[in-house]
Amino acid sequence: MLTLHHLNNSRSFRILWLLEELELDYELTTYERTKAYLAPESLKKVHPLGHTPVLEVGDRALAESGFIIEYLLRHYDKEHQFKPADDNEAAWEDYTFGCILPKPRRCHS
């Protein structure tokens, strides 16, 4: 059984979308951000840092949206509907995604 721990306004929406597109059966546990736009403390019971998404697959807990997407595609997208079978084409997808993200802010001066 798959269980998605989903935080509103986060990258866990990607996983929710992919689970629906793959027409998989799953349970959904939702979490709401605080008024300060932080994840609730209750998420730390699922992930030590309180991050989402977390996808429980049996007794395993998978974290990080990119990894979870790769896992779902590898195990459930047998017809390569959402990921090309050609590794070169897949590499271009990763490259283009990296190009559209904003530059990270510096953490220190």
Q: What's the pTM? A: 0.76
The sheet carrying 2-7 orders its strands as 26-31, 2-7, 54-57, 60-63
Confidence at residue 57, expressed as pLDDT on a 0 to 100 scale: 96
Mean pLDDT over all residues of the chain? Answer: 83
- pLDDT value of position 66: 86
pLDDT at residue number 58: 93
**Average pLDDT rounded to a whole number, residues 54-76:** 92
Would you say the C-alpha torsion 40, 43, 47, 52 has a positive or negative sign? negative
- pLDDT band for 24, please (50, 70, 90 cuts): very high
